[in-house]
Chains A and B, each alone.
Chain A
Amino acid sequence: MSQGNALTLSGLKKNFGRAEIIRGVDLDVRDGERHVIIGPNGAGKSTLFNLISGRMEVSAGEIKLFGKPIHNTPPHKVNRMGLSRSFQVTNLFQNMTTMQNLRCALLWGMGHKYAFWKLVNKQQEVTERAEQLMEQLNLTHRRDVPAGLLTYAEQRALEIGTTIGSGARVLLLDEPTAGMSRSESDEVVELIRQVTKDCTLVMVEHDLGVVFNLADRISVLVYGEIIATDAPENIRSNKAVQEAYLGTEVH
């Protein structure tokens, strides 16, 4: 069974001092699915992402990526093992242009590592792949604009581009549509659909429209525990979920 899982969390706990934020999470993310985690504010969604991506150390339990343990591994190693993440607050190389951001994201995955004997601009493959990505992100016309000067929606798109750039097979997206208008968020969802075709996607999202539109399966995280994991329609009709979370928002 575990062969079909991209990501396995078992008995995962995280506490800051005496405050327990994640209180024993078990979760299987199947290979190739789009898995959305929902839950009220403060449920621990972002902490969960930080644990999976290596940004924080776990207090107990384990995380496996395609069967290999990745908990308490530094972020760059987790990334090299094929897991990449985006951030809730845009986290780019602000002074670099769109093109440069994408190239930076591509370098390691395309095997250039710490090379100091070859020029970045001479690497045709990197340039072509970056341009292809830029095309997908609809950012071609913003090629040489520093990331800090892009519009918010463009920055979010670039954030997604940077995340998929490394060629990771498992992507964690932390609220990719946060702070966007309806039409902007529709565009982003469409973008995510397109660029993550062959990947496993784990997403935190607040916008329930987006959630039910995109998700293959949904997990509901409440106070550091997952109270349900199921297909969207079953989640919608799940009593416990309705009480804990959806009841106030879905009519």
Chain B
Amino acid sequence: MSTVQQETLAGSKSAGNIWVKRAWPWLACLVIALLAPTVLSSGHDIHMLSSMAIMMVFALAYNMLLGNTGLLSFGHAVYFGFGAYIAMHALRWSNNAVLDGTGYGVPIELIPLVGGLAGLFFGIIFGSFSTKKAGVVFAMISLGVVGLVEASSLAFTGFFGGEAGLFGDREDVNSLLGIEYGRSLTVYYLMVFWLFVCALLMFLLRKTPLGWMANAVRDNPERAQFVGYNTTTVRFMQFSLSAFFAGVAGGMFVLVEEIVTDEAIGFLLSGEVLLAAYIGGIGFFFGPIVGAALVVYLESNLSSISDAWLLYFGILFITVVMFAPMGIVGIIYQQWFNFRSGGWKGTIPARLYCTVTALIGLLGFICIVEMAYHYLRSWNPSAPMTLFVTTVDTTTALPWLVSVAILLVGLGLMLFHARPMLRRAVEAAGGNK
């Protein structure tokens, strides 16, 4: 029996069921997004939530290149940045129009769209030559382009605002819905709206002929040519569309921050979006979403807890690249799949033991890093330092010895006792990892 028939049969019987199955992750995300501000309600938290929404759109756009088309870009912030700058100019122009009473300007809800069109425009320009080749050549050109643009951002001060950047005001703009966007919570809901629109569009894009052929070009460019597709055109179109969504993220950024500086267009942000997409998992649609949330959370919270946050961030990235190339979502998916097929049966104690020893090792490592930062960077290394629940003096040997001991015990137990134990348990349970 053909599957078309099966599909239509299933459709007539339980169309509702299939819709629920497909839509529940989206609905769950929407509920979480809408309810998040009730838990994380401080000004700082809501700003963080908005930043997450922006980063999610940006990371999803980035993954259209890396995950879907196999293009590794080191300079995707260029399109985010141009989106942000042009959206900022649109915002300022609208500010003036409203203040002068001379016109209507661009309504605030559509400012991200302006950013998207700007991203698309520059994506078409830079993509026209950078997508001729994939692989190393593409990566190098992307690096060149971001260097070029970052350098010009300080040279052309009229457009980029120089080092001070450009300011705008989201309160003095017309709104399509007649809403005042002064409060950060209101802006957050606008961000959620754009996030869902963009995420849905990018999700659907993966299922179009272009999205399919992007995968085909990633996996086997030669065969893609021999079924009639120009690989350069496929890459170029994916690139331009990705730049559009990156630009939308830039436009969203303008509304939240009301300021754009050269940080929005440079190397650093380009690297950050790569990290976000990769840590989350480039092989999964939801990967970059999780990655973006984590990266923004770490940036906005870990940085206030620890001076060494960038170090932890780097280590996290290296760990993911080396031990879990499918990313966080990949691990969760794999374990869930495993769990569902009964792979956890009889191995749960071993798994717990393995996790706990790893955490103990991690604790020792964090203690050493924190004390080292305190010892090397503080004005007075002998000043008492708060470390978790205790207070230590980093100029004495005891805390160091204890920390190293914790690290060695944790790591040693995990590597030489817990892991072999887990392996035996898995083998005994039927060999499923």
Q: Bound state CA distance, A96 and B212, in angstroms?
A: 10
| Residue of B4, B220, B222 with most partner-chain A CB within 10 A | B220
A180 to chain B, nearest CB (A): 21
Q: Is the pair A120, B227 in contact by a Cβ cutoff of 8 Å?
A: no
Interface size on B, residues (CB 8 A): 30
Interface residues on A, range: 35 or more
Known: A91-B222, A124-B4. A112 touches B209 (CB 8 A): yes
Q: Is the pair B215, A128 in contact by a Cβ cutoff of 8 Å?
A: no
The answer, yes or no, to whether B210 is at the interface (CB within 8 Å) is yes
The answer, yes or no, to whether B90 is at the interface (CB within 8 Å) is no
The answer, yes or no, to whether B102 is at the interface (CB within 8 Å) is no
Contacts of A95 in B (CB 8 A): 215, 219
Among the 9-residue stretches A33-41, A79-87, A209-217, the one with 4 or more Cβ atoms under 8 Å from chain B is: A79-87
Q: Is the pair A120, B209 in contact by a Cβ cutoff of 8 Å?
A: yes
Q: Bound state CA distance, A112 and B2, in angstroms?
A: 22
Known: A96-B215, A120-B209. A128 touches B4 (CB 8 A): yes
Q: Is the pair B208, A108 in contact by a Cβ cutoff of 8 Å?
A: no
Q: Is the pair B211, A116 in contact by a Cβ cutoff of 8 Å?
A: yes
Q: Bound state CA distance, A124 and B219, in angstroms?
A: 25
| 8 A Cβ contacts from A196-231 to B | none
Q: Is the pair A76, B4 in contact by a Cβ cutoff of 8 Å?
A: no
Q: Is the pair A114, B237 in contact by a Cβ cutoff of 8 Å?
A: yes
B282 to chain A, nearest CB (A): 14
Among the 9-residue stretches B42-50, B135-143, B192-200, B228-236, the one with 4 or more Cβ atoms under 8 Å from chain A is: B228-236
Among the 9-residue stretches A18-26, A57-65, A97-105, the one with 4 or more Cβ atoms under 8 Å from chain B is: A97-105
Q: Is the pair A121, B3 in contact by a Cβ cutoff of 8 Å?
A: no
Contact of A93 among B204, B207, B223, B234 (CB under 8 A): B223
The answer, yes or no, to whether B241 is at the interface (CB within 8 Å) is yes
The answer, yes or no, to whether B225 is at the interface (CB within 8 Å) is yes
Contacts of B209 in A (CB 8 A): 107, 112-116, 118, 120
Contact of B210 among A76, A115, A163 (CB under 8 A): A115
Contact of A53 among B207, B211, B226 (CB under 8 A): B226
Q: Bound state CA distance, A213 and B99, in angstroms?
A: 86
Residues of A within 8 A of B (CB): 53, 55, 74-76, 79-80, 84-85, 91-96, 99-100, 103-105, 107-109, 112-121, 124, 127-128, 131, 143, 162-163, 165-166
13 contacts between A and B (CB under 8 A): A79-B225, A85-B226, A92-B223, A93-B223, A94-B220, A104-B213, A105-B227, A107-B213, A108-B229, A116-B209, A118-B208, A127-B3, A165-B227
